[in-house]
Amino acid sequence: MRVARHAGVRLALALIVAVAACGPPPRASDARVVAHETLDVTIAPNPQLDVLFVIDNSGSMLEEQQTLARSFSAFADALGQLPGGLPDLHLGVVSSDMGTLDIPTGDPACSDSDQGHLLKGDPDLGNQCLQVNGNYLVDIDDGAGGRATNFTGTLADAFGCIAAIGKNGCGFEQHLASMKAALDDNPVNTDFLRSGALLAVVVIADEDDCSAADPAFFGAETLELGPIDSFRCFEKAVACNEGRDVDLRVAGIKTGCHVDETQTYLHHVAEYVDFLRGLKSDPADVVVVGITGDPEPVEVGTRMPMGGTMPRADLVPSCAYTTIDGATNTADPAIRLRTFLDGFPHRNAASTVCAADYTSAFVRAGALIRRMNEPCFEEAIAQPADCDVALITGTTTPLAQCDAAIMSRPCWHVVTDPRCADTPTGLAIVVESDAPLPPETHVHATCRIE
């Protein structure tokens, strides 16, 4: 599996390569079962990056959108530190509003939807941040030492404008369905997604994903469905240690909560993981970032609906914070969204939305994207290094480990690399060559891990 691309010089040619996925079974000579990881990388950094922001635009998200805009400069700075500088960038924004599958719920906010269309600010306010040249930010190398953009001012200012999509979206937030609608041959989003680019998806939400598959999910109140509100998105999507035979509407702490793979009301999270991974010939060209409610604790309480006489079940927020204006904001446990992130091992970053500043979240996101071009070992490899390494240039050439006495090149060895300081190991493989390797050369390695 090709996991990243990077080239550099170390005495001769030094290629930093990474390990990211389980590899072949242990060799027959091994006396015990051992684990391996494999990699397959090309030598050229990828100069293109598409970033899709999926922003919750329900009624409670105005402050979070403002925090997002204030913090974005940290993300822009991190992208500018990628190998080769700021990549050729496409940056788009979609909302979480996918309506209610044409089923009226009595909420006018759910009577229409954004259908995964890329937005240029709040459509309800006529906020059109980009007057020409599409509905997403373009910031690319102009070939003459400068940048070609479709906006004025800074990238951070332009993003702050298109990210201000308002708070009039449907309260049944369908973040993952909107992501898929945005990237799945959406005719309105023409040319946003480039086949050869790296892809990053960033979800900002204070409630969990509720991407519905069955229109009946939005039907009138019944004993099975309960009241028409977003508690359904928890009750019908999640199973806890208490089991399906226990009423999740009963107030109290719930433990061991996870996505329910047997339910049929919502699309399964794995569908969206498979979709996003399938957009690229190499799934490692995709990273996902979540700024969401903390997945725990999970507690069910009660609330009295406006104008009601009987309390109904409601999720207790899993986190809270004080805004810069002194208000208290909260977020619900993001069980489905965290499961989605977990579908991309070593290619995800999760942070809490319960913060008055998202700078640290964006620093982590930038580091995650940087590691796509500066890959490092994700596991502790056996020492001394036990790897099978080969160059693939149309033919496969096995490489020997570099030897201090006889340095027959090309060869490989393992080094501690400062660019891997934020990884578990700090280690990378270096391939030494007396001459530049041909373009599109692959380096394939299988290493035994501890």
pLDDT, tens digit, for every residue of 304-342? Answer: 887 777 889 999 999 999 988 888 999 999 999 999 999
Average pLDDT over residues 169-192: 95
Tell me what pLDDT residue 30 has.
39
Task: Lowest mean pLDDT of 107-116, 160-169, 207-216, 428-437, name the range.
Answer: 428-437
Residue 38 banded pLDDT, cuts 50, 70, 90 = low
CA 228 – CA 421 distance, rounded (Å): 49
When the pLDDT of each residue in the chain is averaged and rounded to a whole number, the result is 84
pLDDT > 70 in the chain, percent: 83
Tokens of 166: 């308002």
Average pLDDT over residues 61-72: 92
Tell me what pLDDT residue 351 has.
96
pLDDT tens for each residue of 374-433: 556 777 777 777 888 888 777 888 998 888 666 678 888 888 877 677 677 788 777 788
Residue 239 banded pLDDT, cuts 50, 70, 90 = very high
Task: Render 201-245 in DSSP notation, one character per residue.
Answer: EEEE-SS----BS-GGGGSSPBTTTBSSSTHHHHHTTEE-TT-TT
Whether 131 has a pLDDT exceeding 90, the answer reads no
Tell me what pLDDT residue 124 has.
67
Tell me what pLDDT residue 164 has.
92
Tell me what pLDDT residue 44 has.
56
Average pLDDT over residues 57-61: 91
Tell me what pLDDT residue 35 has.
72
Distances in Å between the Cα of 195 and the Cα atoms of 198, 199, 279, 281, 428 are 8, 9, 8, 9, 28
Tell me what pLDDT residue 244 has.
56
Higher pLDDT, 253 or 23: 253
Average pLDDT over residues 75-99: 91
Nearest to 211 by CA among 167, 173, 261: 173
Higher pLDDT, 310 or 94: 94
Residue 450 banded pLDDT, cuts 50, 70, 90 = confident
**Greatest alpha-carbon span in the chain:** 85
Task: Lowest mean pLDDT of 152-156, 163-167, 360-364, 406-410, name the range.
Answer: 406-410
Asked if residues 417 and 426 have their Cβ atoms less than 8 Å apart, the reply is yes
Neighbours of 415 (CB within 10 A): 14
pLDDT > 90 in the chain, percent: 55
CA 196 – CA 281 distance, rounded (Å): 9
**Three-state SS at 80:** helix
CA 4 – CA 2 distance, rounded (Å): 6
| Residues 151-167: b if buried by 16+ CB within 10 A, e if exposed | beeebbebbbbbbbbbb
Task: Lowest mean pLDDT of 5-9, 175-179, 187-191, name the range.
Answer: 5-9
**Which parts of 289-350 fold into alpha helices (H)?**
335-342
Higher pLDDT, 56 or 306: 56
Q: Which residue has the tokens 């259908």?
A: 115
Average pLDDT over residues 90-107: 96
Tokens of 194: 């480039």
Whether 272 has a pLDDT exceeding 70, the answer reads yes
Residue 345 banded pLDDT, cuts 50, 70, 90 = confident
Higher pLDDT, 440 or 431: 431
Residue 46 banded pLDDT, cuts 50, 70, 90 = low
Tell me what pLDDT residue 389 has.
86
Peptide bond into 297 cis (omega under 30): yes
Task: Lowest mean pLDDT of 69-83, 95-109, 197-211, name the range.
Answer: 69-83
Whether 125 has a pLDDT exceeding 70, the answer reads no
Whether 14 has a pLDDT exceeding 50, the answer reads no
Tell me what pLDDT residue 26 has.
39
